[in-house]
A and B are shown apart, each in its own frame.
Chain A
Amino acid sequence: MYKHTEESLAVQIKNVTFQYGNQPVLENIDLSIKKGSFLGLVGPNGSGKSTLIKILLGLKKPIEGEVSLFNTPLQKFKKWEKIGYVSQKANSFNTGFPVTVYEVVSMGLYGKVGLLRFLNRKHKQQIYEALQRVGMSDFKDRNIGELSGGQQQRVFIARALVSNPEILILDEPTVGVDSTSVQHFYKLLAQLNQQKNITLILVTHDIGVMTSYVSDVACLNKTLHFHGSSKDFEESDLSSLYGHDVQVITHDHGGAH
């Protein structure tokens, strides 16, 4: 496990517990994520992955515990432009929404630009750059609903990237995306991580391909079962457990309640 100074931490989760009604979802989660790492957060369906992400984004409040982003407690954290987030719901948006790819990507700057202000030429340049980075420049005037799942996903990544975030959080980004696009997608993420030194948190229940791209793995199922380098993860028996017997795990835990 890691020994590091506090300054090098992007995310610090301390002793976080959460429940829906009486149903415990997360118990005593301690998880520190180093700046510049590429973390795969894995676990079966219903293991609390998305809930943990929502807690660290401040969308849900934990019953106990604390979260810090860049060593600032969440309650005091204001620099949300440092965090890029692509939610699980991103690809189940209203496809009839009359909005272009360019407009969608520009949304990523709205929070940073601030109230009562307009986008300027520099912002427009940033939007073009983000589109270029994900290879969607040619589609900028197309309606978002007309694109394929993989293309839409890249547009949402561009939206998350446009404000030059230091952390990029992706919640099940490859659901509904074909396997060639998924490969392409992981390569893009690895590139962002290495070239732009963006801390990446990738939430997924599919660990097959993922382990060859990420630097670290955290296994979550109500409690944190493992956190270490992806190499250690592949050598541990957890890898096979999470890789193949996901259904069994879900069943065991589901049956207990």
Chain B
Amino acid sequence: MLDSFFKYEFLQNAFFVGLMIGFLAPVLGVFIVVRKLALITDALSHITLTGIAFHLLIAQSIVWLQPVNPLYMGMCFSVAGSLFMEKLRHIYTAYQELAVPIILSSGIGLGVVFISLADGFNNDLFNYLFGSVIAVTRNDLWTIAFVAVAITGLLLFLYKELLFLSFDEEQAKVSGIPGKWINSLFIIMTALVIASSMRIVGILLVSSLMILPVAAAIQLAKSFKQMFLYAVLIGETSVITGLVSAFYLNLAPGGMIVIIALTILLVVLFGRKLAGLPLQTFRKKVQSV
């Protein structure tokens, strides 16, 4: 493994991108899960695919676009979709979950049209769906590194605002926190991380990397800060083990990463049971008068 790692640039690319998304996806996932927005990750990953498909289609006729990384177009679509989704959530305040299927189905619908216009599926697109160890380019690596630095910085500085908005949005706004633009910024960050993760885990599986480690972490964490610690540990373990096994067994890395994250979640759940600890259940509070 080490030999091939130093020999092949693509393995280095995949490994470093893996490390970055193994950190970013669970960290954002913590906020997404506690805000009960788990499904928006699916919606945004599908709209990212639409962007990729759109790029592949127009690159056929616009020559200068051909060498451009399709990831950029994916990011643009994802960000635009995320802002549209925020808008929809405000229009349908009482039916906030509506925004997810609207974006998800229209994203896929548009994507499929673009794909058929571009003469159907090819191997490239398959890699985008389920991830690939060999498809990550040096250019992807630098783009994602830039995203990772920017988002880590933003999260560090907006941590307290995001925590307050997630816990009690109304109260946060009363205490003078500019909720509207921080929420928009957060959803843009989510869109960028989803687009970045897609090379390795694939569009259909991005949400799992954001949600599964957090689902396990919430069983272990005693404070909000610990949530990040556990989620990142589990995320990185899943990504690294997933990538290595995918490389040796010649499998799609996205699938392996999800299987490992799921295994960790099950071990945590059964482990708590065996240790006689209660599972964290998340029922609505019953008013005791």
Contact = CB atoms under 8 A, between A and B. Distances in A.
Interface of A: 57-59, 78, 80-81, 83, 85, 87, 89-100, 102-104, 106-108, 110-113, 115-116, 118-119, 141, 143, 149, 159, 163, 175-176, 178
Given A98-B224, A100-B222, A107-B168, A80 B174 contact: yes
Given A97-B34, A113-B160, A57 B168 contact: no
Contacts of B176: 78, 80-81, 111-112
Interface string B9-46: 00000000000000000000000001010000000000
B167 A176 contact: no
A175 B289 CA distance: 8
6 contacts: A58-B174, A85-B171, A98-B223, A99-B224, A100-B223, A110-B175
Contacts, number: 106
B167 A111 contact: no
A115 B175 CA distance: 12
B170 A89 contact: yes
A103 B163 contact: yes
A141 B222 contact: yes
B287 A59 contact: no
B280 A96 contact: yes
B138 interface: no
A103 B223 contact: yes
B145 interface: no
Nearest to B220: A98
Given A99-B223, A103-B224, A85 B218 contact: no
Interface of B: 34, 36, 157-158, 160-161, 163-164, 166-168, 170-178, 218, 221-227, 280-283, 285, 287-289
Contacts of A149: 288
A118 B157 CA distance: 8
Contacts of B178: 115
Residue in B173, B174, B222, B280 whose Cβ sees the most chain A Cβ within 10 Å: B174
Contacts of A98: 34, 218, 221-224, 226-227, 280
Contacts of A113: 160
The 7 closest A-B pairs by CB, nearest first: A111-B175, A96-B282, A80-B176, A111-B176, A100-B223, A110-B160, A107-B164
Contact of B222 (A107, A143, A175): A143
Contacts of A143: 222-223
B289 A176 contact: yes
